[in-house]
A and B are shown apart, each in its own frame.
Chain A
Amino acid sequence: MEPTNIEDPNFFHQVVDCQWACPAHTNVPEYIRLIGQGRYADAYMENRKSNVFPGILGRTCDRPCEPACRRGRVDGNPVAICRLKRVAADLKGDVSSMLPKAPLSKNGKKVACIGAGPASLTVANDLLPLGYDVTIFDSSASPGGLMRTNIPSFRLPAEVLDQEIAAIVDMGANMEYSTRIKSLKDLYSKGFDAIFIGSGAPKGKDLILEGREEGRERIHIGIEWLQSVAFGHIQSVGERVLVIGVGNTAMDCCRTARRIGGKDVKVMARRPREFFKASPWELEDAEEEGIEIKVNHAPKEIVLDNGKVIGMRFDILSWNSDATKSEVVDSVVIECDDIILAIGQENAFEWIERDMGMDFDKWGMPVVDDKTMATTLDGVFMGGDAPWGPKNIIWAVAHGHEAAISIDNYCNGIPLSERPETSMDLVSQKMGLTEWSYHNDYNPNNRQKMNHVELTKRFAELSLEVELGFSVEQTVLEVERCLNCDVEPVFKASSCIECDACIDICPVQCLTMTSGDGVLEELRLRLSVPSLNTDQQVYVSNKLAQTGRVMVKDENICVHCGLCAERCPTAAWDMEKFTLNLGYAGQSSKRVAR
């Protein structure tokens, strides 16, 4: 069997489950350690480097890192990565001196961004410090995109949004608010060196049913309705509200309805609970507020009385086990005063002329390269929700970074395929014979539960933030749950004397010395504890000197306690901190130094 190629940064990167799962590859364990040391500003900046909006994301991120977190495989509950991010943001103090700045002299290149959502803001964040002149157009009167218009302020306070957007805008972006781009052709001819389209997926899907037209007064499209509430155009709703759909938008709609007059609010789902799109924590938060979630109800018609909505008829479905087939078993009418449709969003590109050279596929979606974010129109890039439909903020940020690299390449005559190099540092964490620079002991704390504002207060004040954030005590307990997956055992086969010390001490039996013959699938079954999680890697060493066997480490269950390295008499094992050096705009190898 071939030994593992540990020269490839991807090997060690994949061991850091959270960082690997994060679309922007935030260095989670590093910022968690910094929080543990009380270095909140540094923890904030470590986050900002990759995810740009730590305060916003610390409250709203979809957190793909958490289901991936190693701790979840150990005691069933991942580290509260997202809410620790918020701790860093809440306690950071004044970080103005650490924020990136734009140079006094510009580089002469002009870039236009359409939309002031997280995707465009990330592009601006990466290009302004390089001297670009960035202009952002948005049809709204204020920046933030859906983060402002749709994410309710009881989840994301306006001050947090304002502060993190200001950090970018204040570098000198030209903000063209209340300016809808009606023709790309027109903008294309205005002499910009590059254009980024971050216009999102702004259209809420409608549901065409009998009675939809007559009842339109009391039937609302979710994202439009949330926007109207955010801007104060809608201040009340009827007492009985039905929210159709059970995605994230539905959750924000029902909770908002509860705050502006809704007393009996129901979320109507077609499918059983295991098949919902909303995250489990969002469902819990909604239920905590007295919202009823009804499963297996398929909308049939709007029930009207003299043109006024009085209810809605549903088919009751019975599903097969994997919810692929259903049959109607009954039909009910549920009374209501208002209906909110939250069944999805669509992209809308009526403002892009189809004869410009930008290709669209047969579903009317633009053709965009998922590595470079380039459209087929020269100098025009796209990211966020715009190219592939609704995703989330962290993906918009990840797209923004890639687009900024491409724009910088494009403006400097470097091929788009020439991405900045991703490299790694591996540094021993040994401080003494049995002393490490990190807390290597396993801490049995349970995941900390977020405290919430009492219900009565929430319903009295629409913008009151529900989550209180972690207390210092909770923070201290939670940071210690992180297993420091970036401090990784690294093996030097030539030093090993095959004494078994590491194998004997490993608390999870993830090490084995065995014959290196055969294929990986078979080797996995021969380990001290058979390695059954094939999503995780197996680390296979070079041949050992005395017996010709190989050292094998199942990466699935290592808790990074460092005991293998402490018990190794020859330091064949060492605990080394892996740092991923991600390339950002301005670091492409062939970029001409200015």
Chain B
Amino acid sequence: MPSIKKPLIPLAPLPVNELGLTLRDYEGGMSTLCAGCGHDSITAAITRAFFDLSLPPEKIAKLSGIGCSSKTPTYFVSGAHGFNSVHGRMPPIVTGANAANRSSIYIGISGDGDSLSIGAGHFVHAVRRNVNMVYVIENNGVYGLTKGQFSATADVGSSAKKGAANETPPIDPVIMALSLGATFVARSFSGDKGQLIPIIKAAVEHKGFALIDVISPCIQFNNHEGSTKSYHYVREHEIKEIDQVYIPPSGEITAVLPEDGIVRVKMFDGSTLAFRTLPSNYDPRDREGAMHYVNQARLRGEIPTGLLFIDEDAPDVHELNSTTDTPLVDLPYESLCPGSAELARFMEGFN
């Protein structure tokens, strides 16, 4: 933990967003993670993306489970709502919160342990239900908080700090989510904010469940020679098949883009995020193709990153359950609880 709080330096004028807030207004408490932890970079990317999107802090709900990764919601947007759940139980808590108040912006932060070991059962159902949220897995291949045991994402052959190699086959959260019908699936790297920030923005915009699997090296227990989740290894094996270009609201495109292989995501402010797929035959709207592609890449020892799959038209949790358009929290008490006479009349229908 640093000796001091990050000081507020009155360098004038700090740039402000549409709400008149500065980047510093989207920060949280000082991180207590290890210096150099990938999770801190993801925190910085979220801070920047939320600032850029001018999200009102009081509209944001940040939720997590247990782990170093799950500690990080404390470190961004201190003005947001927060909930730190039991290990692995963040997805059901978001589902409940989402049901009660559909007007908030939900971001769940989890780890590979939190989501794919103890919380795997909850994770899969949040995907299936297409819960309207951004779901970030800060994936380091270990249980960081409990001193570096292999997690469910550790690759076969990847060695622990003390040398022993993992022999249990890994879970790939991207493949898992695709097979469960996820509607937004991306992979990124904590060491590449240029890619991560636009993906976070698009995920916030997405209607439904948006998974971002971010490879995030554990500097303490999984950044050594022989690890497949180290800064060095990821940089050697990452292939950015899918790149993105931000198009401002004016619509003026500075980069020359071929029209094929372009996926455009409309943003709140009228701007467009255009994701350019480098092999122009890759279609991020083809679920089968995406699964095949990611699997093949994995066999070649490559880590494809970028926005891998998107389906903007699938019904989200609210459509699937025909919930009211008005968030439950905004409904008057009388409509939420119409009284015993109404209940009796309703029960009558089952007789």
Contacts and interface: CB of A to CB of B under 8 A. Distances in A.
11 contacts: A434-B2, A498-B191, A500-B44, A501-B35, A501-B36, A503-B44, A505-B40, A507-B6, A508-B11, A563-B4, A566-B2
Contacts of B4: 440-442, 561, 563
A388 interface: no
B191 A559 contact: no
A562 B4 CA distance: 9
Interface in B16-49: 34-38, 40-41, 43-44
B190 interface: yes
Interface residues of A, number: 32
A499 B217 contact: yes
Interface of B: 1-4, 6-11, 34-38, 40-41, 43-44, 190-191, 193, 217, 219, 223, 231-232, 235
Given A499-B217, A504-B41, A546-B235, A440 B9 contact: no
Interface stretch (A45-53, A322-330, A567-575): A567-575
Contact of A434 (B3, B7, B44, B193): B3
B9 A569 contact: no
A319 interface: no
A496 to B, nearest CB: 10
Nearest to B34: A569
A440 B3 contact: yes
A571 B109 CA distance: 29
A563 B219 CA distance: 18
Given A74-B10, A500-B191, A435 B3 contact: yes
A527 interface: no
A411 interface: no
A393 to B, nearest CB: 34
A501 B41 contact: yes
A423 interface: no
Contacts of A74: 9-11
A497 B232 contact: yes
Interface string A479-515: 0000000000000000001111101110110000000
Given A497-B223, A567-B35, A507 B231 contact: no
Interface centre among B36, B43, B193, B235 (most CB of A within 10 A): B36
A503 B191 CA distance: 11
Contact of B1 (A434, A498, A500, A507): A434
A567 to B, nearest CB: 5
Nearest to A497: B231
Nearest to A505: B6
A567 B10 CA distance: 22
Contacts of A561: 4, 7
Given A441-B4, A507-B9, A563-B4, A546 B44 contact: no
B7 A546 contact: no
A37 interface: no
A177 interface: no
B3 A501 contact: no
A547 B194 CA distance: 14
A324 to B, nearest CB: 32
Nearest to A572: B36
A75 B12 CA distance: 8
B36 to A, nearest CB: 3
A500 B36 CA distance: 7
Interface string A33-52: 00000000000000000000
A507 B223 CA distance: 27
B8 A507 contact: yes
A436 interface: yes
A523 interface: no
A505 B37 CA distance: 12
A532 to B, nearest CB: 12
Nearest to B38: A499
Given A505-B6, A559-B9, A563-B6, A570 B36 contact: yes
